[in-house]
Amino acid sequence: MNVRVAAEDDIALLAALRREWNEEEAGSPIDDPAFEESFIAWVRDEWSTRTFFVVEVDGTPVGMGNVKQYSRMPSAGRPTDSWGYVGNVYVRESVRNAGVGAVLMDAIQAWSWSAGYDKLRLSPATRAIPFYERQGFWQSGLLQRDRD
């Protein structure tokens, strides 16, 4: 297994993995001819503050994830820190439960610590909580409000 930071020429691959994920969740193909163009525009907008990762098994891409950088507002008398929001972690169903997700998350965490992040946060699907807890994440007291 190999995890690498995605390059700009991987954007189409990231789009294909995202579509695959969406269609897996939907249980069937999704007719959305504008998706790839929309996804590529989103990645280009996010590129300066988000680092994308690709995980490969035997040279074949099988998953992805990303980390969005956030910097805390400066406070008097306290150093400013930065943290990352882990998002869009996906591993193909055919290789799940084989350690691929753990290798991907280990690489994301190692990269984040080396980039100087003080913490990582994420908002997992309920079924993924045990996986992230095994990766050292814990539930915090964050609050959320969705638009009505």
Residue-by-residue DSSP string for 14-45 = HHHHHHHHHHHHHTS----TTHHHHHHHHHHH
| Domain presence at residue 145 | no
Instruction: Give the residue numbers spanning the domain of 101.
Output: 2-134
**Model-level pTM?**
0.92
Confidence of residue 96 (pLDDT cuts 50, 70, 90): very high
- Would you state the structure tokens that stand for residue 58, as one six-digit string? 């035997």
Q: Are strands 2-5 and 119-121 parallel, antiparallel or unpaired?
A: unpaired
User: Mean pLDDT across the stretch 76-101?
Assistant: 93
Q: What total number of domains does the chain contain?
A: 1
| Domain presence at residue 54 | yes
| Domain presence at residue 42 | yes
Q: How far apart are CA 144 and CA 96, in angstroms?
A: 30
| Domain presence at residue 109 | yes
Q: What is the pLDDT of the chain when averaged over all its residues?
A: 94
- pLDDT tens, position by position, 110-147: 999 999 999 999 999 999 999 999 999 998 877 777 78
Confidence of residue 78 (pLDDT cuts 50, 70, 90): confident
The three-state secondary structure class of 80 is coil
Confidence of residue 16 (pLDDT cuts 50, 70, 90): very high
User: Quick check: 14 and 43 in contact, CB under 8 A?
Assistant: yes
